[in-house]
A and B are shown apart, each in its own frame.
Chain A
Amino acid sequence: MSTRLIWTKKALLARLHRGYEARKKFVESQISNGIAFQIRALRSRERWNQSELAEKVGTTQNQIYRLEKPSVTKPTISTLKKIAAAFDVALVVRFVPFSQLVDWVSGTPFLDTGLSTKAFAVPSFETENALFEAGVMIENAEKEIIAQLSRMGAAANATTALTECQQSAEPISTTRETKVVVIYGPAGGQNKRVRNPTRPRSGVDVQIPA
């Protein structure tokens, strides 16, 4: 029997799409479960009991007990900093896009590009979702282009032609404000604009080489 994590990416995305309250609870749950279990695991690694950790943090055994109980744990950042220092580990407290939390919880490796202006201005769930849908539209547009080229009698070379076209294209750019997605524009070439017939509601146009 296969072993995979309880939360799959697909199930998590479905959960987030249930609405704002579901997303709020998801974040709360990850914090309370995560902190409680991690303190417990760190303490176990060091083979300390709750009293020993309490002494190093400068608090009581009862407070450590409460920190390790997900249903009641409400640690302040100040307390977390003391706990991090006691274990001699770093502490990261920052806002992240939902996509990153989904990757983390589903055990999906992800690329963290580090400190940047974009990393500070985290996109909201709705913004991320809009960008994701635009990505799906690009995929649909690709399929449509292949189908068009096939109908033009270039079936055998359609995929190759598309790949070559992509390779010679200027960088893909997405502009949410104008809702225009530019793809496959050969450097210096002219583009033909077509509306994706499969997703007329979105208002996103796709440009392909003339």
Chain B
Amino acid sequence: MSDEVEDCIWTFLGFESAKEGRPVQTWFDGLPPDHLDAVKDRLGVLQVTSRGDWDEPFFDPLIGEGGISEIKFDPIKCMKGQFYYRVYGFFEDEAYIFLHATNKKVKNDRPGKAIAKRRLHELQESRADVHQIDLD
């Protein structure tokens, strides 16, 4: 038995504050073109994927981490080394809000999660805002 699947398109938003500017947008803007391609390819399919299908191996709900979750990208190997890109964020209505993006260097990225949680807190207290992520 199967159900009708409802069409969805997630909006990707980024954290923004007076103090930090648009840190996630800045991170995306600094990626080498081929790395950004790979990141966008993954986000492109996630964008039209039902919420229930956001799961391992490309997403980790990070249960017990204060409401943040993690988008995982395939390792990128190049002349400069190996890159394990991660984007931390959370769902709100029809959007997924990016809080922090990084090249993860350790298995449990506590510093990265801490940044994401702090920013989430700032948003919850209306001390920060969100903006539309531009990946063009």
Residues of A near any B CB (own CB < 8 A): 1-8, 10-11, 15, 18, 22, 25-26, 29-30, 33-34, 37, 40-41, 44-47, 68-71, 105
Contacts and interface: CB of A to CB of B under 8 A. Distances in A.
Contacts of B13: 1
A13 to B, nearest CB: 11
A47 B95 CA distance: 25
B49 to A, nearest CB: 6
Given A33-B45, A71-B74, A26 B11 contact: no
B60 interface: no
Interface string B72-105: 0011000000000000000000110000000000
Contact of B42 (A1, A10, A33): A33
Ordered nearest first, which 7 A-B pairs have the shortest CB separation?
Answer: A71-B74, A29-B41, A6-B44, A3-B11, A37-B45, A11-B136, A69-B57
A70 B5 contact: no
Contacts of B2: 45-47
A105 B42 CA distance: 12
B53 A33 contact: no
A18 B16 CA distance: 32
A3 B94 contact: yes
B37 A6 contact: no
B31 interface: no
Interface in B1-54: 1-3, 5, 9-13, 33-34, 37-38, 40-50, 52-53
Interface residues of B, number: 36
B136 A105 contact: no
Given A1-B11, A7-B44, A25-B34, A44 B132 contact: no
Contact of B9 (A5, A15, A25): A5
A26 B38 CA distance: 9
A15 B58 contact: no
Given A3-B94, A6-B47, A41-B53, A26 B37 contact: yes
B106 interface: no
A5 B57 contact: no
Residue among A26, A29, A34, A69 with most chain B CB within 10 A: A29
A29 B41 CA distance: 7
A6 B53 contact: no
A165 B31 CA distance: 50
Contacts of B45: 33-34, 37
B135 interface: yes
A102 to B, nearest CB: 12
Contact of B52 (A2, A7, A44, A105): A44
11 contacts: A1-B13, A6-B44, A7-B41, A7-B44, A11-B136, A33-B44, A37-B49, A37-B53, A45-B3, A46-B2, A47-B2
Residue among B3, B74, B95 with most chain A CB within 10 A: B74
Nearest to B130: A1
